[in-house]
Every structure is written in structure tokens, then in C-alpha cells.
Structure 1
Amino acid sequence: MSVYVSIIHYPVYNKEKRIVATSLTTLDIHDIARSARTYGVKGYYIVQPIENHLWLANKLLSFWQGGHGREYNPKRWEALKLVKAVPYIEDAVSDIEKIEGRKPKIVSTSAKKCKRTVSFDFLRKEIAKDKYPYLICFGTGWGLTEEFIQSSDYILEPICGPTDYNHLSVRSAASIILDRLLGLR
């Protein structure tokens, strides 16, 4: 099983449905890394094209991956050693291809129902049997762009609760999705 995750800050929508780059949130770095480590994800990519935000992500990672943070909290280091910050999704895909010897299958996530969605059960079985790596993409802001979603190999069904409210934080959605796809059954 070769599963990778990414949190994408561009291309995503803002609430006016404009394509934007969103701000880095350090909680997303920490929390998704901890979920990724818990579920055996091989790598976690922060896709952030804003130069100052990319610098901040790398500064935080250098502290936890090799600096004082590694000694201060080895459990946090254990999770954050999975993380790389890159400016564009193509950089993450290229890095995975170098590691795995083939391009990953791209899985988009969305809080909205889309055409071509696959169920958690279907994708769980595909991941278990497939020799290809998978890159699960989580959008920030108001979600991944339609173009990005439609260009994906798979579009995962949304997480739905018993109400019509569906606006989870990306770190909560990532944890739920990783558990549904990779958790023990």
C-alpha cells in the first residue's frame, strides 16, 4: 500500500467562487501529519505557492524534523518527518514518481456531491489491491477547483452527517477519510 496525502492551498475557491491561493494554517500541518502517521501514509505534501507561506512551512518543518523540536517531542517528530512543502501539486506528483517509480493515481475530495464519485469502500479495495501509489488531495478554502477535481483519477464521495450542514475543517475531514480508507476493520 502506497498512500500519500496533500493539503492544497492552490488552486482552490474562496467563498465568492474565485480561484485563489489560501493561507497556510500551521494546525493543519501538525494535525494531518499525526493522522497520516497513525494510518501509515507514506508522505504528506503541503502545496503552497505563496513564497512567504512556503518559507514558514519549511521553517516549521526544519524545527520539528531536525532541530530542537525533534528532541523536545519525539512523537511529534515521528509524524512531521512525513511532511514536505512544495509550491505546486506537480511537484508532489513528481516527488512521488521518483520514490515509487510511477505516477500516483490522484484522488480528489470534496464536501459536494460530484459526478463520477466513488465510495469509500470501493477506493479502500482499490488501494489494497493496486500496485500504483495514491495521492489523496484535500482542498482548503471553499474546496478544490472543478477543473482539478475533474482531472483526478478518482473523486471520493463526500463525508455526510445526519444534518444538511457540511463544512468540516480540512484536518477533521482528513482524519475521517484516512480512517475510512486505511483504518482497521
Structure 2
Amino acid sequence: MAGGALPHSVDLIARLEAEQRKLILTRFDHDDAWRLGLLLVGLARARGAAVTIDIRHGRQQLFHYALPGTSADNDAWIRRKSRIVTRFGASSYLVGLRHRLAGRTSADETGLNPRRYAAYGGSFPLTIAGVGVVGTVTVSGLPQADDHRLVVEALQDFVADQHDGSRSLPKEATSGRAGDEGSQPRERGEQFGSSRVR
């Protein structure tokens, strides 16, 4: 294994690849972006997570919401992580882990400007069956693995709802209020694989 590779990174990469193959949408329009966004807001509020949530279809931003405790820094992280997904068609967490496993930084591996691209967890491709990647859903504010898990949990519920033929809004998407206690500012950093947030 390449020097500096994360423990169990091969197994983790395989799991992330399997997640992406499974989380396939039947459709995705403006109303779907609203439903998915509210679902993420509900999940974040229930956990007191200070995150910013962003959903894009192509170049168009369809949903953006910042919970208390976030800042403009989270918006910058969202843009950088989303660009990775748009360029590589894979989750930002998966792209970063692949580069890390090779023993290189993402900037070294791709030649991309790290001020514009960030291969850290939290952005996931929106993929429609028979069409391909049409957009991104991104979270910023937690440690990268937690950002990724929050997005995946919401997508799992959302995809299951689509495949059941229902367009109902899950209960979690309407729970909580802006300003709920527990949304506290968190330190931000750029150390790959660390517990610091982005």
C-alpha cells in the first residue's frame, strides 16, 4: 500500500463506490431539489449540526440553506467540493480517498488548483438512471466523513421514497426550527483525514 494511505482505505473506497452505484434517482427536478434540501435540513437540525446545504442541477443552484453556526467559509468549501464531483462524476470523499491511497494529494494527482477544487467529503453526484450525473448535493460544516454520511443518509431515504412511487416529504424534512439549540460554530481546517471540519 502506498505510504501515508489511510487505514482500511481500500475497503472504504469499495463501500463508497457501492453507495454511488446504489443511490440512483428516477428523476430530479426543482421540486425534488426542494424536498431533498428540506430532508437534509431536518436531519441536520435534529442533530444540532451547524452545516450549509447546497443542491445544484448542472450550473443552476436549486437549493441553498445555512444553519446557525455556519459562515461564508462553508459556502467556499461547497463550491470547491462540488467542482470535484462535477469534474470526476464521483463523490468528493471518494475522489480524495483514491488520491490518498495513491500516496499523493489531489492537487498533485490532478493538477487542479486547490483554491478552486477540494477533494474532501461532503459532495455527492445526483445521478438519474439512464441519464447519468446531472448535479450535486453538498454539505459543509462537519468533519468530512460526517458531511458525507449526512448526504448519503438523506439520499438513501430520498431514493427509497422515489422507488416507492411516492413524492411525499419525509417527516424529518419538516422537523425543527431555525435557531434550534445545539447549532454551534465549529472550527474549520484543511488537514485531509482529520476530524476537523470543512
Would you say same fold, with TM above 0.5?
no
TM-score in terms of structure 2 length: 0.28
TM-score (ref. length: structure 1): 0.29
Structure with greater strand share of residues: 1
